[in-house]
Amino acid sequence: MTQLTDHEKITIVCLHKKGKSIKEISEILNVNRNTISKWISRENLTGYVLRKKGSGRKENINNDGIIKVINIIQNDTYITLDKIYEKLNNINNKVNDQKNEVKLITEQNGGEQLTDSHVGKISIYMIRKILKINGYQYGIPPTIFPLTEEHKKRRLEFAIKCQNLNFSEVDFTDEVSFWKNNEAHMRWHNKTNIFDRDILYKHAAKLNAWGYISYNSKRIHVFSENMNAVKYVDILTENYLNYYEKNHYILYDNDPKHNSIKSKNFLEKNKIKILNFPAYSPDLNVIEHVWSLTKRNLANKKYSNIDEFKQSIYESFNEIEQICIKKLIDTMNDRLRNVIKTRGSYIC
């Protein structure tokens, strides 16, 4: 039987419960039909698809409970764990004939196995676990641009062309902005205290950054001016040209300043190879992850002046280890194959 993740097993059962055929599930998940059939059969026979790894006590999660939790969160992504708990409790009160079938292991009882006839509800601990297994986490979600059919076509063409490219010979570049003391961060706060608020500045100080990462190096340049073609070429001259390895590609998108005559002449003059990059594809430019890590390193810090903020950006970027960057770059071929599977749609 094909080795599946817990998330894939649960997804198979959920899709089957929603009326999807084995053929449809196979096409959605790209999993062999026989494997899907075996997991559905196992769920029908035992009522469970998951167990705790290792040689210890088995941990059973009832599939009906899993489906109820996922359906609730899909209908309302802003719902709290407490509200999910209340909804499930109401549901469970109406399903008395299934009440004794749900087995739970609660955090509070030290691992002792209890049945639903003892507890009467799915615990918040178990709700959190179900959501975690299925990839849900609490926080500020990333934003994406809607893809047109033309965008998908360009992404698919790029993926087909470069799916077997050696990305250890590609330099990933991008620009980003950092806002001084104005980033949104998740934290606990007291809603009854009118003074317990974060301040949002309408005209917060901003710094821009250009950076590149490659298999063996990384570099960032922080500046306050607006980016244009002249500034872009100056940055490449000072921060990239001397570090460029012969025969490497520079990942290049359709930004006007990148496509300017001045920029293209600079690259041609210095024999820098270009790998044209499809628009609206942050999921394919792994430097986006590096920017996220940089911002995470900056999180929850306050800066008394712009110079201090600028220095901290450099430090936060340089804290990211090269081994981490290598692992990100190593995912590129799989990312492109996933783009092919999704026919050009976003993959993450």
The fold of 149-341 is Nucleotidyltransferase; domain 5 (3.30.420)
- Closest by CA position to 123, among listed 108, 138, 110, 101: 108
Query: What is the CB neighbour count within 10 angstroms for residue 313?
Result: 21
Q: CA separation (Å) from 78 to 83, 188, 290? A: 10, 16, 28
Token pair 């800066």 in the structure block, residue: 303
Q: Please check whether residue 22 is in contact with residue 37, taking contact to mean a CB–CB distance below 8 angstroms.
A: yes
Q: What is the pLDDT of residues 81-122, one digit of tens each?
A: 888 888 887 765 554 444 443 333 334 344 444 343 333 467
Domain ranges of the chain: 6-133, 149-341
Q: Write down the pLDDT at residue 115.
A: 40
Residues near 101 by beta carbon (within 8 Å), at least 6 away in sequence = 47, 62, 116
**Torsion sign, CA atoms 251, 252, 258, 259:** positive
Q: Please check whether residue 26 is in contact with residue 32, taking contact to mean a CB–CB distance below 8 angstroms.
A: yes
Q: What is the pLDDT of residues 299-319, one digit of tens each?
A: 767 778 889 999 999 999 999
Higher pLDDT, residue 187 or 297: 297
Query: Assign residue 111 a region: left if phi > 0, alpha if psi is -120 to 50, beta otherwise?
Result: left
43: pLDDT strictly greater than 80: no
46: pLDDT strictly greater than 50: yes
Burial status of residue 200 (CB atoms within 10 A of its CB: 0-12, 13-18, 19 or more): exposed
Q: What is the pLDDT of residues 188-247, one digit of tens each?
A: 556 566 555 655 555 557 899 999 999 999 999 999 998 899 999 999 999 999 999 988
Measured CA to CA, the distance from residue 64 to residue 14 in angstroms comes to 9
Rg (CA), the chain: 25
Q: Write down the pLDDT at residue 108.
A: 38
The number of angstroms, rounded, from the C-alpha of 146 to the middle of its chain's C-alpha atoms is 17
The alpha helices in the chain, defined as continuous H runs, are 6-17, 22-29, 33-46, 63-75, 81-94, 116-119, 124-133, 149-162, 229-239, 261-269, 287-298, 306-318, 322-329, 332-341
287: pLDDT strictly greater than 60: yes
